[in-house]
Amino acid sequence: MSAELCDHPEEVHKDIFNESFIMEVTECGKSPRSQKSLTYIFQLLAEVAKADKGRQLCTNEKVLKMIIENLSKKSLDEKENLSFQACRVFGNICFESEPARDIVLKLKGHEEMMKLMKSLCDDIISSLSLSFDITLPSSAYSIVTKHLKVACGAFINLIDEHEELQKLVLTSGIFDIIQKLLIINYGNTDIVKVTLNILEYFPDFFEDRATQSFLSSPKTWEAFYLVLKSSDDQDNVDTLFRILSCYAEHGLVGDSNKELISKSQFPQKLLSLVDDFESTCAVKYIDLVGDFIILLLTGDKSMNILFGNADGEVYKQLRGWMNPQCPVKIQAAAAFAICNFARSDTNCVSLVKSGIVREIKTLLEVYPVGDKQHVLQHALFGTLTNLAISPLNRKSLLSDGVAETCLSFLATESFTVLFKMLATLRMLLSQNEKLACDLGRNEKFLKKIDESIAASSHEGVKCESLRIFASIVKNCRDTDVMRLLLQHHLLQHLLYLLESDHIIMKNEALLSLNVLATALGYSSFLDYNFVTTNARFTGRSFVQHPGTGYHISQIWFLFIAF
């Protein structure tokens, strides 16, 4: 009968199966029988429930209660493994059947299924040698893992599209089971696959304490590390990355979690996935790996752990990718990571002393402005910007020719590259009279900045351009340069900068206006419509920004004094 059911289930159902037949089978299951006989009955029901009609016939409380009551009756003898066949029936009945899932919920069958999965994990530990060598599993291990795979599949059929059940199992310890499943079975592709499939149901419950606890557990990241270490199955790696991306998207990887992950071997394993630059795996995962590493680097403690005082394994591997022999995507991922390492003065100074600036310049020479490798160029200039924030580094950056490198990218078509390039120059201008005067006399540069302010749809480029003008005035003190700047709409630019919502930018503009007023006097401003512009802005400022308006009035007094 079982073979016929497998070959032609719908035909057999049509001829002989009806509700009375299922009830008769159920009654047989209740009567005193050997476990072997019950196993055959469940095997028959499992075949019946493969088809829609059979599934409907089996979807009643009596049948499901009988199945749930026998989930715990395990045996290493496959002919008497009642639990194994009960799992098969359970999974087949629950497949795409909300009525069946509702009955299981009423009977608390989800609790029994979770108990079974825990018990099977313990059985696997018992079946393994003391060395936990799962590369040479015993026959008992094979039997139990086969059972566990079916149990996990049945569990998926149970919780699929049933939010109430998902919430219940979440608070009932499913994450503990998932950790155990992955750590014990990390070398078993099939078990890993179904376990990750279970885990995929839960990232959306990101506010639940169980999810937070799961991500805060070292065992979780040990499990993920083991999966990546031993898995040759790209589908499993894909699934794990989908899960991680979902956690990251929902902001679940907080600073404490980043610190925990950074102390594990997980980041190193991530990088190893793309170490073979020519492999399909590297091409496929470089963006995901890069994004996750950078996510870790956004935490201060985790960043310092991975940096390891310039001796961290992750840092050194990323630093090794900063060379032209690596694919451009690899170089860009490394550059963005190094940019994030350069978020503290200590790290910045260490990086500059190690010669990182020369490596960046080399890459910018290999990929000049006309090469249009905008992502890489953006990352490289972003790193230079961060390095230039530290006053201790600026002299070294200037002597390495960073200012000249920046100017060589004036013609870039990328707003993001221009933004970071201008930010780097602005940092280098601080307390540097020579550079300020050189830039103030550079017509090509001033014209580009003027155009960027007038035409840029990128707010960052516009702000940096305005701040460049203010910085040149502040650091130059050369009246000829100041008069040249006035021809490039300097006053209008500084007044526009005053409208910024950022107090630092307001102060930069005010300081520059005071420097101009002191150096050139009121009469020098008459030809540039300053009176009308300043009067109009003064009125607005007193209403919108009383503090700023007050400072502008002080500039008026300076002019009147002349």
Q: What is the Cα 118 distance to its own chain's centre?
A: 31
pLDDT of residue 559: 56
Question: What does the mean pLDDT of the chain come to?
Answer: 86
Domain end position, chosen among 172, 203, 233: 172
Q: How many other β-carbons are positioned within 10 Å of the β-carbon of residue 149?
A: 19
- At 137, which amino acid appears? P
Range with the lowest mean pLDDT among 36-40, 138-142, 484-488? 138-142
- For residue 134, is pLDDT > 70? no
DSSP letter (8 states) at residue 181: H
- For residue 560, is pLDDT > 50? yes
How large is the average pLDDT for residues 223-234? 89
Residue 37 lies in a domain: yes
Distance separating alpha carbons of residues 240 and 223, to the nearest angstrom:
11
SS (HEC) of 343-389: CCHHHHHHHHHCCHHHHHHHHHHHCCHHHCCHHHHHHHHHHHHHHHH
pLDDT of residue 106: 97
Q: Which among 120, 114, 215 is positioned nearest to 165, based on CA atoms?
A: 114
Domain end position, chosen among 147, 172, 197: 172
Angstrom CA distances, 425 to 133, 208, 502, stand at 58, 46, 20
Residue 324 lies in a domain: no
Q: What are phi and psi of 413, to 5 degrees?
A: -90, -5
pLDDT band at 74 (very low <50, low <70, confident <90, very high): confident
Dig out the tokens for 521 from the structure: 């006097």
Distance separating alpha carbons of residues 355 and 384, to the nearest angstrom:
12
Q: With 0-12 CB in 10 A as exposed, 13-18 as middle and 19+ as buried, what is 132?
A: exposed
- Quote the percentage of the chain above a pLDDT of 70: 84
Domains: count for the chain: 2
Residue 227 lies in a domain: no
pLDDT of residue 206: 65
Distance separating alpha carbons of residues 436 and 476, to the nearest angstrom:
5
pLDDT of residue 130: 39
Measured between its terminal Cα atoms, the distance across the chain in Å is 110
Domain end position, chosen among 126, 153, 172: 172
Distance separating alpha carbons of residues 510 and 228, to the nearest angstrom:
56
pTM of the model: 0.84
Comparing 411 with 559, the larger pLDDT belongs to: 411
Residue 149 lies in a domain: yes
What does the pLDDT look like over 7-20, one tens digit per residue? 454 555 555 456 66
Residue 426 lies in a domain: no
Dig out the tokens for 364 from the structure: 């910018």
- At 319, which amino acid appears? R
Q: Which residues contact 272 (CB under 8 A, 6 or more apart)?
A: none
Residue 475 lies in a domain: yes
Angstrom CA distances, 480 to 10, 128, 531, stand at 95, 84, 21
- For residue 406, is pLDDT > 50? yes
Q: Which among 375, 322, 311, 388 is positioned nearest to 349, based on CA atoms?
A: 388
Asked whether the CA dihedral 297, 303, 305, 311 is positive or negative, the reply is positive
pLDDT band at 121 (very low <50, low <70, confident <90, very high): very high
- For residue 413, is pLDDT > 60? yes
Residue 276 lies in a domain: no
Angstrom CA distances, 380 to 246, 310, 333, 344, stand at 28, 19, 10, 17
Do residues 469 and 490 make contact, with C-beta atoms less than 8 angstroms apart? yes
Q: Which among 559, 558, 556 is positioned nearest to 542, based on CA atoms?
A: 556
How large is the average pLDDT for residues 258-283? 88
pLDDT of residue 473: 94
For residue 498, what are the domain limits? 449-562
pLDDT of residue 457: 78
Do residues 328 and 322 make contact, with C-beta atoms less than 8 angstroms apart? no
Q: With 0-12 CB in 10 A as exposed, 13-18 as middle and 19+ as buried, what is 52?
A: middle
Concatenating the DSSP letter of every residue in 40-109 gives: HHHHHHHHHTTSHHHHHHH-SHHHHHHHHHTTT---SSGGG-HHHHHHHHHHHHHTT-HHHHHHHHHHTH
Comparing 100 with 39, the larger pLDDT belongs to: 100
Residue 479 lies in a domain: yes
- Quote the percentage of the chain above a pLDDT of 90: 58
Concatenating the DSSP letter of every residue in 318-351 gives: HHHT-STTS-HHHHHHHHHHHHHHTTSHHHHHHH
CATH number at residue 52: 1.25.10
- At 534, which amino acid appears? N
What does the pLDDT look like over 316-367, one tens digit per residue? 999 999 999 999 999 999 999 999 999 999 999 999 999 999 999 999 999 9
